[in-house]
Amino acid sequence: MKEHEMVNFKQLKGSGNFYFIRHGQSTANIKKIIQGRLNCPLSDAGEKQAKQTGTWLKDKKIDTILTSPLDRAKTTAELIAAETGSCAAEVVPNLIELDTGVFSGYSLKEAAEKFPEDYMNFHQYSWEGVRKAERKKHIYNRAVKHWEYLFLLFNSGKRNIVSVSHAGLIQWLIKASFGHREWFPLFPMTNCGVSQFAVRNIPVETLKETAFPNKSTGASGRTDINVLSSSENTEYTYRCEWKLINYHADQALK
């Protein structure tokens, strides 16, 4: 598989939002079972979280909802679609959870007892050290491919897009946005946690006839870049910002 470069957000013109949402609580989450690609349903609490997340998204003018093929994500997406009045969720294979190899179906404690060498390697190398688990190169490329699909949707006029996936894959969707190819650091990810990526690529008055950079990055995670597009003779201000909202559905409406 060809190794992808980092995502180039200058390909996008205009404003929009990408919402990446972890599925609601599953029955395996309750038992602290490592699921990977096992197909576990939502718990009653998970269904409630999904509905409340849909309520939170109701005024966000959602155009499209994409989902992992696993049931815990598909049901979450369907419940969100019902609350937001969006069309049916589209299943996207690249949104599937990372393969957790021989640990799948066990709690972390059980995995440590059954696979002690893998468990030791896991603490040092994350999933790279677990037999049959998905490797970082592969999952990074999957994340970039999903961004490429999001770009196609954005440039076709879809400006507020929801992707329902899993904690493992969403980590890499975030990392791929700035070219990070390692397992660590990890970002906190609750059930139905929301990670929002906002794009504000706005044309401004042309001041120069040649391209010039003007970069500044703050603690908020925002980056502004002014670049002259010679092909259109239009200068754009490129502004992209992550918000790791980690929205907790069952607390938000209290």
Find the Cα–Cα–Cα–Cα dihedral 92, 98, 101, 106, rounded to 10°.
-100
Q: Between these two residues, 2 and 17, which has the higher pLDDT value?
A: 17
**Does the pLDDT of residue 35 top 70, yes or no?**
yes
pLDDT tier, 202 (very low <50, low <70, confident <90, very high otherwise): confident
Q: State the Cα–Cα distance between residues 133 and 224, nearest whole angstrom.
A: 37
Q: What is the pLDDT of residue 4?
A: 55
- Please say if 23 is a catalytic residue: yes
| Strand 160-165 to 64-67 pairing | parallel
Q: What is the pLDDT of residue 235?
A: 73
Q: Say if CB 57 and CB 80 are below 8 A apart.
A: yes
Give the three-state DSSP class for 51: helix
**Does the pLDDT of residue 16 top 70, yes or no?**
yes
Q: Between these two residues, 4 and 48, which has the higher pLDDT value?
A: 48
pLDDT tier, 239 (very low <50, low <70, confident <90, very high otherwise): confident
Q: What is the pLDDT of residue 211?
A: 41
Catalytic residue among 83, 97, 134, 235: 97
Q: What is the pLDDT of residue 247?
A: 55
Q: Between these two residues, 158 and 205, which has the higher pLDDT value?
A: 158
- Please say if 97 is a catalytic residue: yes
Q: State the Cα–Cα distance between residues 154 and 156, nearest whole angstrom.
A: 5
Among 18-22, 30-34, 191-195, 240-244, which stretch is predicted with the lowest mean pLDDT?
Answer: 240-244
Q: What is the pLDDT of residue 219?
A: 36
Among 8-22, 81-95, 120-134, 233-247, which stretch is predicted with the lowest mean pLDDT?
Answer: 233-247
Q: What is the pLDDT of residue 220?
A: 42
Mean pLDDT of all residues belonging to the chain: 86
Q: State the Cα–Cα distance between residues 96 and 164, nearest whole angstrom.
A: 9
Rounded to an integer, the average pLDDT of 82-106 is: 97
> Domain 9-99+134-252's class?
alpha beta
Q: Exposed, middle or buried by CB within 10 Å (0-12, 13-18, 19+), for 82?
A: middle
48-66: per-residue pLDDT in tens? 999 999 999 999 999 999 9
**Does the pLDDT of residue 210 top 60, yes or no?**
no
**Does the pLDDT of residue 112 top 90, yes or no?**
yes
Q: What is the pLDDT of residue 236?
A: 72
Q: State the Cα–Cα distance between residues 195 and 21, nearest whole angstrom.
A: 6
Q: Where are the domains of the chain?
A: 9-99+134-252
Catalytic residue among 4, 23, 146, 166: 23
Q: What is the pLDDT of residue 230?
A: 41
Q: What is the pLDDT of residue 142?
A: 97
